[in-house]
Amino acid sequence: MDWKKLANTLFPEGHSISEQNEFLSGEAQVDGQTVAVIGTTGHTPIGIEIALAQAQAILRTVRDFPGRPILMLIDTQGQRLRHRDEMLGINSYMAHLGKCVDLARRKGHKIIGLVYDQALSGGFITSGLMADACHALPDATIRVMGLPAMARITKVPEEQLTELAQSNPVFAPGPENYLRMGGLESIWHGDLAAHLRTALAQPVAGDQRSALGLQRGGRRLAQPVIDAVLSGAHVQRV
């Protein structure tokens, strides 16, 4: 979805979001409340420049507007795969972005992620998956790695991975599978502005992804392992 159309749908009360080199930033009004908006567009890869720009926007919000909610609009093909970025330490820039998101959360900023187009690999991990809750539009594309690439790296035949993807959401792309695994809080159908208002009003209850994955049947061992580590008990494999 075009980000301008999305913004007009999400924020009928108005917004001041602008785009510069596929980086989105600005403010919007939701039920009379100002929300900071940060994101990307055009399936842009996350290189050091955009990672730093997002981190700066988050820190600026923390410094200048304590407690203001932050909405992250996500459309990325993942980290930029260039020798230059690797040599300059793209992993450190993306880690810095993730730490800035965590800092904002610890300072009392509610952080919501919305995958409105594409979310892949590290670009998704340091944005939507760092949020208090991540949501997606029905037509969004979400995956950590494509099956052909996964086959090359794991040496498992692509046909076998394709078969596994039919029954195991870990191997399958798409918002429905990430919803089953607990990576997504919900998929937004219909009135997007109403969904956003609901998300902003929902109390922050900590990281519920493993519990949701267990409840929805997409990740059956993550929460039991967490519980066992915390209690010192033994986990029975299922």
Q: Give residue-wise pLDDT tens across range 126-144.
A: 888 899 999 999 999 888 7
pLDDT, one tens digit per residue, over 54-80 is 999 999 999 999 999 999 999 998 888
Closest among 123, 59, 41, 57 to 90, alpha carbons compared: 123
Alpha-carbon radius of gyration of the chain: 18
3-class SS string, the chain: CCHHHHHHHHCCCCECCEEECCEEEEEEEECCEEEEEEEECCCEEECHHHHHHHHHHHHHHHHHCCCCCEEEEEEEEEECCCHHHHHCCHHHHHHHHHHHHHHHHHCCCCEEEEEEEEEEHHHHHCCHHHCCEEEECCCCEEECCCHHHHHHHHCCCHHHHHHHHCCCCCCCCCHHHHHHHCCCCEECCCCHHHHHHHHHHCCCCCCCHHHHHHHHCCCCCHHHHHHHHHHCCCCCCC
Query: Per-residue pLDDT averaged across 5-28, rounded?
Result: 97
Put simply, whether the predicted model's pTM sits higher than 0.75 gets the answer yes
Looking at the predicted structure, is the pLDDT value of residue 235 above 60? Answer: no
Tokens in use for 136?
Answer: 């997606």
Looking at the predicted structure, is the pLDDT value of residue 172 above 80? Answer: no
> Mean pLDDT over all residues of the chain?
91
Query: Per-residue pLDDT averaged across 19-41, rounded?
Result: 96
